[in-house]
């Protein structure tokens, strides 16, 4: 098993590269989440206004 571990070691440079890529994704994920929330609120508002006009 120790030979298996030695083959799968990750270098410091690879870790740094991975962390950098993940940090770049964080704002993108936040933006997607806020866009989704905004769209859901907008749909609800439109639906509420349509219902109020029909009644």
pLDDT digits (tens, 9 = 90+) for 1-33: 455 555 678 899 999 999 988 888 887 777 777
Is position 12 within any domain? no
CB proximity list for 10: less than 8 A, separation 6 or greater: 18
Q: According to the model, what pLDDT value does residue 14 have? A: 92
Is position 10 within any domain? no
Is position 2 within any domain? no
Is this prediction's pTM over 0.75?
no
Is position 3 within any domain? no
Range of the domain at 46: 17-54
Is position 1 within any domain? no
């Amino acid at each position: 098993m120790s030979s298996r571990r030695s083959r799968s070691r990750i270098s410091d440079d690879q870790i740094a590269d991975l962390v950098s890529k993940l940090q770049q994704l964080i704002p993108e994920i936040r933006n997607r989440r806020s866009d989704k929330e905004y769209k859901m609120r907008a749909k609800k508002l439109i639906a509420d206004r349509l219902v109020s006009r029909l009644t």
